[in-house]
Each structure stands twice: as structure tokens, then as C-alpha cells.
Chains A and B, each alone.
Chain A
Amino acid sequence: MPSSSVRAYPPLRQRLYSVWFRHMRVYTRHLVSNGLPPFLEPLIFLGGIGLGLGHYIGEMEGMPYIEFLATGLLVTAAMWTSAFECTYGTFIRLEFEKVYDGMLAAPITANNLIVGEILWAGTKGLFFSFAVLCVLTVFRIVHWPNALAAPLLGFATGVMFGALSLLVTSFVRTINHFNFYMTGLLSPMFFFSGVVFPVDQLPAVVRPFAEAVPLTHSTRLVRALCVGRWDAILWWDGAYILLFVLIVGYAAVRRLKKRLIQ
């Protein structure tokens, strides 16, 4: 066997890729059970709206309600998958399966591992967003080529919620604590971030809350993208996403690293 030379360890890009590759291989092992639900979920949603609720609600922000809601689903799908991956998924890998103990024995640092997790969360966001896009395209709810870029916002949403969820995970001691995050933060975000109805409709006191949370910004961007309606506020949304990822991502790396390296 050839001997390995000291300091010839793989470069950063390769180290991040190997973390991502591990998750991808494990995820794609069960292609049907992991790959099908992302397509079914938007179908169920659209069925519920198209067959039922849609008859009672006419237009919203100048578009049919089904289109309003469906465009929001492009990013909420990314939010949910990424949040589950980086809370329950990460916690199980960390505490129950001890997967990280094995991975960290390989030539990667704890920082590489955590950033790799966030990138993987982004990838899942991209994939789930893509699944929603496929369903919306089949039902002619969104139109190409504009909507083709939506999975990129799915990626950005996945990265934001990956970072946020890892930060939450760094505080959690038992897996049940995630209930607070899911029902206490993510569920309200789903309803009050402009996905189900426009944030302008919110009472003035609640409005700042809506502007402070990440989902509002992805939703506004993805809807603008899909309908091709541009507005100056979108610059703020883009800047918010960038800053959020940098700040929350940094905090997540700092805190979670302490759980990995004693």
C-alpha cells in the first residue's frame, strides 16, 4: 500500500464535498420513500385549494389565489425539509448514531462538517423546491422560463433554515425540545410570512415580526420571480438572506462545534 504523505490532506472544497457526498449517498439510498413525498405534498395542497378553498377566495395581490399560495410553497417546502434535516436529522447523527464521531476521524474539521451540513440542507431545499416546481408546471400554475430559477431560492431558503436549525440544535439537550422550534417558530412563520396571505394584511404590531423572520424574504423574492413583478424592496430581501446566512451560520458553527469537539 502506498504511504500517505503528511499535510497532503484534501483541500477545503473537497472536504466540504465529501460531507455533502455522504449525506447524498445516505439520502438517495431510499429513493422512493425519500424522493416521492416532495412531489405528493404540493399535489395534496393544490388539490385542497383547487377543489375547495379556492372557490371561496378570489384573487390575492392581483393573481388567482391558487397561484399566490403555490408560489409560496416553492420556498416553504425548502424550509420544512431543511429544518427537519438540521434538527432531528442532525441530532440523531450527533447523539444517537454517533455518525459525526466517525466522520470527524477522517481529515475534515468540525467547521467543515457543519458547513457541509448547511450546504446539504440547501441542496435538499433546492430539490424540494424543484419538486414543487414540477407539479406547478404540470398544472400550468407557473410559467417558464422565469419560474425555472425558483429552486435557487429553494437553495437559499434551505441554507438559511439549515443554519438557523443547527443553531437551535446546538442548544437542544433532548430531542423533544425541537417541538418548541417547530410549533413555536416555524408554524407561525408559515402562516405569517406572506405565504398564505400578504403581510400587508397583518396588524401593524405584528408586521415587524413578519419582516424579521427569514421566510418572508424568500417568499417575496420567489413570488416576484414567478410573476415577473420587480420592486425595490427585493434588494432588501436579497441582502437580508445574505446577512442572515452569514450571521446565523457563523453562530451555528461556533456553538455546534463545542458539541462536537470537547
Chain B
Amino acid sequence: MDIGMAEPVITVRRISKTFGTLRAVDRVDFDVPAAACFGFLGPNGAGKTTMMKMLYGMCRPDADDEGTMDVFGCDPRREELAIKHLAGVVPQENNLDDELNVVGNLMVFARFYNLPRAVARERIAELLAFLELADKAKAKIKELSGGMKRRLVVARAMLNAPRLLILDEPTTGLDPQVRHVIWDKLRQLKRRGTTILLTTHYMDEAFQICDGLLIMDRGRAVLGGRPRDLLAEHIEPYVLEVFDGQEATGIDACFGEALRVEASPEITRVYGHDLEQLRRVAAALHSDHYYVREANLEDLFLRTTGRSLNAVQ
């Protein structure tokens, strides 16, 4: 799915991955332009992580597949080393070495990239400053907060000055301050020309930093495009949320096709194109337990992937 802009540096066509009888990734297509931030959105078990792992050789696509992948001119099936050398990866779990301190962790990783000691030391100092960890250089891993560990893993992924940064749920479980710091760093990296791929459950994260999105569900790419375009094209711009199910009964009948009503046991959501119309509907309710707002990615996401839980959620 094309998000316009520069020439793509990652091209994936009809890639599938099956685990036993489970089709984890099912004929997925997408393009990522250079220096863009591209996000995979989807519920747990949608295939986001598997898709990203296939890009750097940690997961092999189905052998009988007609699919193709191109990552900076390399095929992950044959040239995983080249891809890993130009890419940095932040896995879902932090997996730092508790036995080593902050600098120790990075020095061990610098060996993997064959960085000379002096170069590694300089790079590590730069990265710790960049990720606001400079005063933690000698700290033990156990002394770090969740946010610090996450930033350290980002620093580790950046040791070899990657052209591609792959992040699996970079901010899951972190407080808002840390999330905003990480987003700022990712924006800065993008400006310097780094291409970024990430998975996330957070719609605000996707909206804040992604230039392109791919919504996945049960292994399939369901929707893709620029966040703003997706909203404009696939969901009404406004929503009225009524927090009392009883109050909302009958809205559907009164306004017919102009409004779309999604009822759940506790909240009824009324989607529409006309803000004034929604306000009139709200005013007619016999309660002030309602809220009118702009529709966001979460509304789109839930509309696309459904509100009920799947087997792995």
C-alpha cells in the first residue's frame, strides 16, 4: 500500500507465514519510503511482529510462497547479515544483560558490529547523551526504570548508525513522559534520514509519529495509507458517545442513514459527518452523560478489526 513520497526502500509483496495450521501473515503487501516512519497496527496475534521479524531474517516466510521482499536492495532470505548490519532492532522484550552495566551492555554489542574500542566509546557517549542516559553510564541494569531500559535498548539498536530502525512496541507499558521523549527521538532520527518501522497498540503513537500505517488483523493487511487519509476516507469525522445505553435507544430510527450507530452494552457511539447534527441529537437526550468529539484512529481501528476479542487477546 503506497503512502506516496520518496522511492520505497522496503518493498513487500504477497508475503505469508504459517505456523502449523495458523496463517500468521497472509499475503501482505506494503512499501516503505526512505526516511519515513511506518507503523503496523493491529490486535495481539494480528501478525505484526512476525511480519517485522521476516524483514531481518528472524522468521522465514513460507517456502512455497510466491512472495517477495526487498529491504534496502537485499533479500532477507539470503542476505540477513547485510540487513542486520544496516538495521537496528528493538525487540519486544528488553533482554539486556543484567550482569553488565549500561556501558558494558553497549560495549558487548559494539563487538557484534566490529567497532574499534575507541570508536565504540565515542559512539556510546553520543547515544547515551541522545537518549538522556548520560548520567546512568555506570548504572546496573537492575537500577534502571522501565523507561530507561527501553531507551537503552534503543541506544543499543543505534550503535551501528542504522539506516533502518525496527521497533517492536517501543513504548508499551511506559509512562506518558517517556513515551513523548521516545517519540521526539524517533522524529529527530527520521529527520536525519533514518527509516523507521514500528509496531504499536497505541493509536496516538501511530498518529503522532507514523507517516504510513498498515492495519493488520488475523494475518491480513486490512487497511493502509497515511493516518490522515485513512481517517478521511474510512470513518466519519465526528462521534457522539452516549454513556447510558438506555438513552441512546431510538437514535438509529430517528436519523436513519445520515448517522451510523455502534451500540455496545455500556456505550453507544453515533458517527456522523455533520457536527451540528450530532449536537442536536445530544441535546435531545434526557441526560448529560454524553461527549461529542472528533473521530480518531482508535475508532477506525475498532471499526476495522472489530470490538470483540480474538483467541489470543
Contact = CB atoms under 8 A, between A and B. Distances in A.
B48 interface: no
A101 interface: yes
Interface in B52-86: 53, 56-60, 72-74, 79-82, 84-86
Contacts of A102: 91, 95-96, 153, 156
Given A261-B57, A262-B53, A4 B86 contact: yes
Contact of A109 (B81, B95, B162): B81
B85 A9 contact: yes
Contacts of A17: 111
10 contacts: A1-B123, A4-B86, A4-B161, A9-B85, A10-B85, A10-B114, A22-B112, A102-B91, A102-B153, A108-B84
Nearest to A260: B58
User: Chain A: interface secondary structure?
Assistant: loop
Contact of B84 (A26, A98, A106, A262): A106
Interface of B: 17, 19, 50, 53, 56-60, 72-74, 79-82, 84-86, 88-89, 91, 93, 95-97, 99-100, 104, 107-109, 111-114, 123, 126, 153, 156-157, 160-163
Given A3-B163, A9-B84, A97-B95, 11 more contacts: A25-B100, A25-B107, A26-B97, A29-B100, A101-B91, A102-B91, A102-B156, A105-B84, A109-B81, A261-B58, A262-B19
Nearest to A10: B114
Contacts of A6: 72-74, 82, 85-86
Contacts of A25: 100, 104, 107-108
A85 to B, nearest CB: 14
Q: Please provide the 3 A-B residue pairs with the shortest distance between their CB atoms, ordered closest to farther.
A: A105-B89, A106-B112, A9-B85
B58 A262 contact: yes
B112 A4 contact: no
A105 B160 CA distance: 12
Contact of B85 (A4, A18, A21): A4
A99 B82 contact: no
Interface of A: 1-4, 6-10, 14-15, 17-18, 21-22, 25-26, 29-30, 97-99, 101-109, 261-262
B108 A22 contact: yes
Contacts of A104: 58
A18 B109 CA distance: 8
Nearest to B153: A102
A262 B86 contact: no
Contacts of B56: 105
Contacts of B53: 262
Nearest to A2: B161
Contacts of A15: 112
A12 to B, nearest CB: 10
A14 B112 CA distance: 8
A3 B19 CA distance: 37
A15 B104 CA distance: 18
A105 B157 contact: yes
B267 to A, nearest CB: 38
A108 B160 contact: no
Given A2-B161, A9-B84, A26 B112 contact: no
Given A98-B91, A262-B53, A26 B100 contact: yes
Contacts of B91: 98, 101-102, 105
Contacts of B95: 97-99, 101-102
Nearest to B157: A105
Contacts of B81: 9, 107-109
A3 B161 contact: yes
Contacts of B99: 26, 29-30
B67 to A, nearest CB: 16
Contacts of A14: 114
Nearest to A34: B99
Contacts of A105: 56, 58, 84, 88-89, 91, 157
Contacts of A99: 95, 97
Given A8-B85, A26-B100, A261 B59 contact: yes
B114 A4 contact: no
B58 A21 contact: no
Nearest to A26: B99
A91 to B, nearest CB: 15
